[in-house]
Amino acid sequence: MTVAERLTELGITLPEPVRPVANYVRHVQTGNLLFISGTGPTKAAPTGKVGTDLTVEQGYDVAREVGLQIIATVQDALGDLDRVARVVKVLGMVNCAPDFRDQPKVINGCSDLMVEVFGDAGRHTRSAVGFVALPDQIAVEIEATFEVR
Amino acid sequence: MTVAERLTELGITLPEPVRPVANYVRHVQTGNLLFISGTGPTKAAPTGKVGTDLTVEQGYDVAREVGLQIIATVQDALGDLDRVARVVKVLGMVNCAPDFRDQPKVINGCSDLMVEVFGDAGRHTRSAVGFVALPDQIAVEIEATFEVR
Amino acid sequence: MTVAERLTELGITLPEPVRPVANYVRHVQTGNLLFISGTGPTKAAPTGKVGTDLTVEQGYDVAREVGLQIIATVQDALGDLDRVARVVKVLGMVNCAPDFRDQPKVINGCSDLMVEVFGDAGRHTRSAVGFVALPDQIAVEIEATFEVR
């Protein structure tokens, strides 16, 4: 089954990838590594600090939405998601208060999606940690690295 | 035009690269990737939290100064800035309070510099996010990865 | 001297590597690069914010313990630590309050260990910075990248 077929089976329609407005780009490939910029959710997602303004479950949903945005960017970069050999690394950034403990449960929203979509090739290294503030007070931002064939 | 000529045209003189004092180094190359350690500004730069102790504009200037320091380190590593094939990735770390929203406007100080100096090869992936505290309360620290030819 | 012999000489016994419970893995190799997930200490280590709940010296000890855990993971991934060509990059994440300044002194616990164990090949690029909160309020989390031969 191709990744595109798996997306259809999962009932997933990829969003339109966001476009950066400053002097940076959404993706750079060097050798077999594809780097994706730090990615947030759409403007419709709830904002603020997870554990304070959002529940962990809401944070999970935002992380999943960010994951979809990342996959849409990879599709945009490669043209064909079957060129993904491996999800290598995820840096999961959670906007939270000093006493928050559940960053991994939030970033699971992205990690679970990667494995649903790419199977074993979706299993990645990651850090899921707390940031004092993210741009425009988005709740979750995620940066990712892929191996490309 | 070489990168050295472009620096002259822009009126930029690179600073002396900083030297680490602990068991780490300023740069490591592996294959075609050159990794640069997290880099701060000189001691003369204003310190503290951007949005609280510094304005966004002051933060932009600090990020530009950090960018110059990174380019000086790349020059030190490669001997010739024309060996830079691409600025691959920037992690822009902004020292800020929990309600700060403008990390991207701060890190633009580095991103704009990279495009001024390296042209299209200076366009990179990046994350620009908020940290609760940086070493010695510097306002901005930036880590970068380059592709080398 | 092999790395295994050096570990014996240093009186270091590697801990059992931790196993992740979610949809991510402890290590991924792509080409000559080995990526290690964000790694914390064992449950016995003191938790909380360095500079508030732990002294800098206690933080150093936690960072060293995290470093041992990372080396145990590399051993698990490669089977033989002599396959490490270089410690490329360390992201040292310190759980701390907004006024903390000594993140580098904390992460030296890991950096010093890498040089003790791998010699000059242990000298790496790094960032040592402050995070508002880490999972389960661990005091230190470290992510690392190795070059493999």
Closest in A89, A101, A129 to C28, CB measured: A89
Q: Which residues from B are below 8 Å from C114, CB to CB?
A: 23
- Count of structural domains within chain B: 1
Asked whether the beta carbons of residue C133 and residue A103 sit closer than 8 angstroms, the reply is: yes
Q: What is the pLDDT of residue B17?
A: 87
The model carries a pTM of 0.97
**Which tens digits make up the pLDDT trace of A83-119?**
999 999 999 999 999 999 999 999 999 999 999 999 9
Q: What percent of chain A has pLDDT over 90?
A: 92
Closest in A28, A97, A131 to B131, CB measured: A131
Mean pLDDT of B129-136: 98
Q: What is the pLDDT of residue A22?
A: 77
Higher pLDDT, A113 or C43: A113
Alpha carbons within 13 angstroms on the beta-carbon side of residue B109 total 27
Closest in A101, A123, A147 to C23, CB measured: A123
We report the CATH number of the domain holding residue C47 as 3.30.1330.40
Whole-angstrom distance, CA of residue B75 vs CA of residue B62: 20
Q: What is the pLDDT of residue B23?
A: 83
Asked whether the beta carbons of residue A22 and residue B132 sit closer than 8 angstroms, the reply is: no
- The overall average pLDDT reported for chain B is 96
* Segments forming the whole domain that contains residue B63: 3-148
Please tell me if residue B26 touches chain C, with a CB cutoff of 8 Å. yes
Asked whether the beta carbons of residue C24 and residue A99 sit closer than 8 angstroms, the reply is: no
Whole-angstrom distance, CA of residue C139 vs CA of residue C110: 13
